[in-house]
Amino acid sequence: MTSRTSAIHILYFANFREVLGQAEENLPATHNTVSELLTTLAARGEPWKVALFDNENLQIAVNHDIASRETPLKAGDEVAFFPPVTGG
C-alpha cells in the first residue's frame, strides 16, 4: 500500500467511474508523465485500455488544471481522468 503523499492520487469521473468500477486509487509515483501512468493502467485489460489509453476524447487534469498525456507527474500529484464535460 502506497501512502498518499508518496503516491500519485488518481480520480475517475462520470461513466469512467462506472465502467472501471472505481472512483479513486493511489499508484506509485514512479510514473514520470501522464502517458506512463496510462500505459500502466492500459495493461490492466480491455475496459482500461478502451476508456483511457485508446480514448481520443480522454480529458485529463493534474492538480485541478487541464493537462495532457505529456504533463509530468511527481509524488503527491492528483490526476483525474474524465469524459468531455456536459455541465451548464
Partner 1 sequence: MASFNRETLCIKIQTEDFDLTTEISALRQDHKNIGAVVSFVGTVRDMNEGDEVSVLELEHYAGMTEKSLEKIRLEAHQRWSLEASMIIHRVGKLLPSDQIVLVAVASQHRENAFHAAHFIMDYLKTNAPFWKKETLPNGDVRWVDSRVSDQEAAQRWAV
- Residues of this chain that interact with partner 1 (CB under 8 A) are 11, 13-15, 57, 61, 64-66, 80, 82-88
Residue number, 43 or 54, with CB nearest to partner 1: 54
Q: Closest distance between partner 1 and the C-beta of residue 64, in Å? A: 4
Can you tell me which residue has the cell 499508484? 27
Q: Closest distance between partner 1 and the C-beta of residue 52, in Å? A: 16
Contact between residue 2 and residue 75 where contact means Cβ atoms under 8 Å apart: no
Q: Closest distance between partner 1 and the C-beta of residue 82, in Å? A: 6
Residue number, 53 or 82, with CB nearest to partner 1: 82
Residue number, 2 or 59, with CB nearest to partner 1: 59
Which residues does 84 contact at the CB level (< 8 Å), separation at least 6? 57, 59
Beta strands across the sheet bearing 65-67:
24-28, 7-12, 78-82, 59-62, 65-67
